[in-house]
Amino acid sequence: MRRVPAAKTAASLAPKPEGETAMVERLERTGRYRVLRKLVPREVLAHLHPPADRTPGAWPRLGVVLDTETTGLDHAAHEVIELGMVAFTYDEMGVCDVVGVFSQLQQPTGPITSDITRITGITDEMVAGQRIDLEAVRRFVEPADLVIAHNARFDRPFCEKLCPGFEAKPWACSVSEVDWTALGFEGTKLGYLIGQCGYFHNGHRAVDDCHALLEVLSQPSRTQALPAFRQLLASTSAPRFRVHALGSPFHIKDILKARGYRWSDGSGRQPKCWWREIAEDAMDEEMHFLEAEIYAGGMNAHVERLTACERFKA
């Protein structure tokens, strides 16, 4: 009988190379590992961009996820240094296709601080001579049926200051208008959300955060709760109410703060008082609280009805 060479025998017994997918599945099956995959942005299908003259209310609709990087937290004093946007079509069931991407840097009037560079990765050298094309921004946003930001109360004032067109759009906030806990997530920061979806990404650059947020919003629900994007749609279509506690006594300010009221200094055509936004089904309870705890029977609150077009303004 002819003998098989030893080298050939050893090679035949050696484990065969595994592909990446097989290795990941093998690790995760042990229950001792969770593998994060690098997020690959969805392919842009420009030909699916809905026409500007489409029938109002018809599906699909156009959404824009956006993110800003800025020189600070105060929209009145600080500037946008990067704007990222991802346009996508959607229907009543969720996200459909990515149909456009926008990403531009802008040089501010002063130097970028070391803290901002540490947070964003953006340096003075990167933005030198750069300007955001405001006409391109306006064209990108004009056909949108909905603008989404992960903390819209921060991004909306900066965007409205930067360029016309944002002020008339319905806005949604993926931090405050999605019940992430009910969906099985352990936090609301984008890094936590994308990580729990099994991905990692280049965080804190504007357009990369947009792609990450769109992926998170596209995930099916892992619980009995409504999926994240459908929660946003439901919240956007429901009115909310801004309650202004006009003339509330100074000594009860801590009670208002504990209930979620915020102080308005009177800028932006808002009254100078404590205020908060609530859902329609919470109105009776809120009025009872104000009458019993704040005004002692002499109600002096002003209630303003807000649509998605008015929410999250400065």
Sign of the torsion formed by the C-alpha atoms of 79, 309, 58 and 60: positive
Query: Which domains are assigned to the chain?
Result: 46-237 (3.30.420.10), 240-306 (no CATH)
Query: Which tokens hold the place of 76?
Result: 């009145």
Predicted local distance difference test score (pLDDT) of residue 48: 53
pLDDT band for 17, please (50, 70, 90 cuts).
low
Provide, for the chain, the percentages of residues in helix, strand and coil under a 3-state DSSP scheme, each rounded to the nearest 5. Answer: 35, 20, 45
DSSP label at residue 293: I
Structure confidence by residue, pLDDT tens digits, 42-96: 999 865 555 555 666 678 899 999 999 999 999 999 999 999 999 999 999 999 9
Predicted local distance difference test score (pLDDT) of residue 308: 93
Query: Which tokens hold the place of 82?
Result: 């990067």
pLDDT band for 130, please (50, 70, 90 cuts).
very high
Is the pLDDT at 7 greater than 50? The verdict is no
Query: Which tokens hold the place of 33?
Result: 């590992």
How much is the mean pLDDT over the chain? 89
Structure confidence by residue, pLDDT tens digits, 165-176: 999 999 999 999
* Contacts of residue 57, Cβ cutoff 8 Å, sequence gap at least 6: none
